[in-house]
Each structure stands twice: as C-alpha cells, then as structure tokens.
C-alpha cells in the first residue's frame, strides 16, 4: 500500500494541471509542482504558510472562501474561471475545477482544486502596485469629503440651534465646499486617465 501511495503522489506532483488542497480554515495543505510553476512559488513558501485567499484574487477574504465551501457542500463539484496572484504580482486566469472530499474516519473535510492551465491568460497589471495606488487615491478623497461634511454640519448645527447664519459663515462654508468639490473632481479626472 505504501508503494501505491508514493506512486499516487508522484503522479499528482507531475500532473499536467495544477493541484491544490485546503482545509475548511483555508490553510493550504498541499500543492503540486505544476501549481508552483504556474505561480512562481516554491512549495515551502505555500504549504502551511499561506491561506488560499492570499493567492486567489477572486476569493480574497475568509468570508468569500467560506461562501465557496458552503456552495461546494451543496453541489460537490464546480468549474469556474479564477484568477491567481503570482509571486511576481502579475495575475494568472485559468479554469478551475473545485471538489470536496470528506474523510469519514477523521471526520475532516478537504477542498481541492484542479487548475487547468490550458487558458493561462497573463494580465500585465501588477496587482500589489494597483492595490497600493487605489488605497492612496481613496486616502486623497477623504480630506475633501470630510471638509464638505464638516461645512454641511456647520450649516445644520446653526439651523438646529436657531442661530443666524452670517454672510461670512455662508461664504466661508460655501468656499470650502466649492474648493473640496473641485479637488474631488480633479482626483476623479486623474483616476480616469
């Protein structure tokens, strides 16, 4: 039996498609050599060191992973296109067949995916760089939005307290709103280019 197990793992390891096994917590328990070659990782960098959502662009949180495994509980097998994040930050799109295996003896459930590398479309954008740019752009939007909200709150507060709005109050707040709106507009233009 030991020789058959060894032979089985040799076959899986040299399988033409990528192969990955995870548990219900998203821990990566096994990957074959093809999977590592596709993503540019060493096995030691992935197995027991990464969660599936660190590599899968489409399932990038525990909540999404949990939803995927709940769906698999009902259908047991699915084929979808997923995008993986390669070690160099580029993205790899491929057809994935997801399956579920329940070990009756240990009462553990395992999820495995077969990655069909026949449709390996590489995207040029660098995922990590793009994510950082988006975060920076979102941070830039916060200041003018905060200024607009503060100005509107000042108008409302004076109104609720039945305080008279002076011409200076109106001009100051309207100028702040206009400047912030222009700043937001410029940020949006920059995002679109």
| DSSP result, 49-89 | T-BGGGTBSSS-SHHHHHHHHHHHHHHSEEEEEEEEEPTTS
What digits encode the pLDDT tens for the residues 6-45? Answer: 787 788 888 888 899 998 899 999 999 999 998 899 999 9
- Which residues 6+ apart lie within 8 Å of 159 measured at CB? 165
What digits encode the pLDDT tens for the residues 36-71? Answer: 998 899 999 999 888 888 888 888 888 888 888 888
pLDDT averaged over every residue in the chain? 79
pLDDT bucket at 192, cuts 50 / 70 / 90: low
What digits encode the pLDDT tens for the residues 130-167? Answer: 666 666 667 777 777 777 888 788 778 877 888 887 88
The span from the first CA to the last CA of the chain, in angstroms, equals 62
What digits encode the pLDDT tens for the residues 65-113? Answer: 888 888 877 776 667 788 888 888 888 888 888 888 888 888 888 888 8
pLDDT of residue 91: 83
pLDDT of residue 79: 73
pLDDT of residue 121: 45
């Amino acid at each position: 039996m030991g020789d058959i197990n060894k032979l089985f793992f040799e076959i899986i390891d040299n399988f033409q498609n990528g192969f990955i096994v995870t548990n219900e917590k998203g821990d990566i328990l096994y990957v074959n050599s093809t999977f590592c070659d596709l993503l540019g990782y060493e096995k030691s960098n992935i197995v027991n060191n990464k969660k599936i959502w660190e590599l899968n662009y489409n399932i990038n949180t525990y909540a999404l992973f949990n939803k995927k495994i709940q769906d698999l509980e009902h259908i047991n097998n699915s084929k979808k296109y997923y995008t993986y994040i390669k070690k160099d930050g580029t993205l790899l799109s491929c057809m994935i067949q997801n399956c579920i295996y329940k070990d009756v003896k240990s009462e553990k459930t395992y999820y495995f995916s077969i990655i069909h590398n026949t449709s390996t479309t590489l995207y040029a954008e660098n995922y990590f760089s793009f994510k950082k740019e988006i975060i920076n752009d979102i941070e830039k939007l916060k200041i003018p939005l905060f200024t607009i909200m503060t100005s509107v709150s000042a108008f409302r507060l004076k109104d609720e307290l039945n305080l008279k709005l002076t011409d200076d109050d109106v001009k100051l707040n309207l100028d702040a709103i206009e400047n912030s709106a222009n700043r937001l507009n410029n940020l949006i233009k920059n995002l679109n280019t």
